Amino acid sequence: MVTIDSTGVTVYPKPKGSLISRIWSQLRRRPMPAPHLMPWDDISKVVAFRVDLWTTDSVSLELIDKDGGVLRMNEEMSCWKELIVELPEQLPGCLTWDEWFTDVISGPCGGAGTSVFDRDSINGSEHGVPLRTDG
């Protein structure tokens, strides 16, 4: 499960094992895996790309924090719409869906992606251009 709020993006690990083994673990007071929070202020880059799923394509975003940690989100996730609305609101200089979506779906699958946000170049012209330059 993923939640998106004013503090950032929180990923809750999926419990392992059957329902019975999870209940048994709780009864034995074993700690459940801790959620991972990626605060908005820690996000240094957001990259959008298209993934070929054989019969269809999927749009994904990678949120990269200042330590190099990566959260990969895709359009099939229940929090997707909330994420694409929150990104430009929480990350000043982040491109909106309308500004990057067409570039991503018309670009190559498996490419380096399109920069949606880069904290190091907020004023630069690197936003919205492909990351890979062949030539």
Please write the tens of the pLDDT for every residue from 9-60: 877 766 565 666 556 555 655 555 666 788 999 999 999 998 877 788 889 9
Whether 58 is covered by a domain: the verdict is: yes
> Is 98 part of any domain?
yes
Count structural domains, the chain. 1
Domain of 50? 40-121
Question: Does residue 32 belong to any structural domain of this protein?
Answer: no
Q: Report yes or no on 109 lying in a domain.
A: yes
List Cα–Cα distances, 60 to 17, 83, 112, in angstroms. Answer: 28, 11, 12
pLDDT in tens, 90-106: 999 999 999 999 888 88
The answer to whether position 76 is within a domain reads: yes
What are the DSSP calls for 57-107, one per residue? EEEEEEEEETTS-EEEEETTSTTHHHHHHHHHHHSTTPPPHHHHHHHHHHS
Flag whether 100 is in a domain.
yes
